[in-house]
Amino acid sequence: MLKVALPLRLHLSLVIVVGAASLQFNAWLCLGIYGAIALFWAGFLRVPLPQLGGLIGTELIFLSFMALPLGWERASFLLVRSLICLITMNSFLLTLPPHSFGIALKSLPVPVPIKANLLLAGQYLEILLDEVTRMQRSAQLRGLNGAVGWLRYTSAAMIGALYLRSLDRAERVYAAMVIRGYNGQLPVDATFRPKERFVLLVAWAIASGLTITSYTI
């Protein structure tokens, strides 16, 4: 696989998602092209298919509750469009190296305070996911193997414990940052090289062309 920098990966994922989400309703041809691009992107990133399938299946169940009352025709288009967006973003998130979500967020074109908040939120999400993994391992040690066993282990008390554990660990991380000189300012700038800017420009041009075409067909 070609090595693509994390900020560029994030931006290319966002190009696909924004382009697909802006399509004209019922533009199935353009939606199919975006679907092919999303599948190519997932294959390019070599996302683990079992994890991707499980995650998307759960997300689509929740989305179907909101989309189905809109009628089959509208709901089917919305669900397919959501599926393409979910494949794209989940492929990006599932192939991120550990503790690198913040590096990707640094390249977003948003004001510095918002970017700093996103970086801190990304760090907290990594802590939360790490605690979930530890609790899943704990459940497996108690003999609760598989998805059914994990669901039996899940309860309101467990979610509360998860929140407290992740919050406590986040406070320890923050204290460690302060000891190492953190003064409320984060290194939030990330610049693209000329080659990466060209790739991003081509991607935006293709996505803009597809989306505009959906309104003229």
Contact 118, 110 (CB under 8 A): yes
Mean pLDDT, to the nearest integer, of 125-135? 77
Euclidean distance between CA atoms 70 and 24, whole angstroms: 17
Residue 1 has pLDDT above 60, yes or no: no
So what's the pLDDT on residue 156? 58
Percent of the chain with pLDDT over 70: 87
pTM passes above 0.75: no
Two structure tokens written together for 144:
């609760």
Please report how the helices 156-179 and 112-141 are oriented relative to each other, as an axis angle in degrees rounded to 10.
130
Residue closest to 24 by CA, chosen among 216, 214, 198: 214
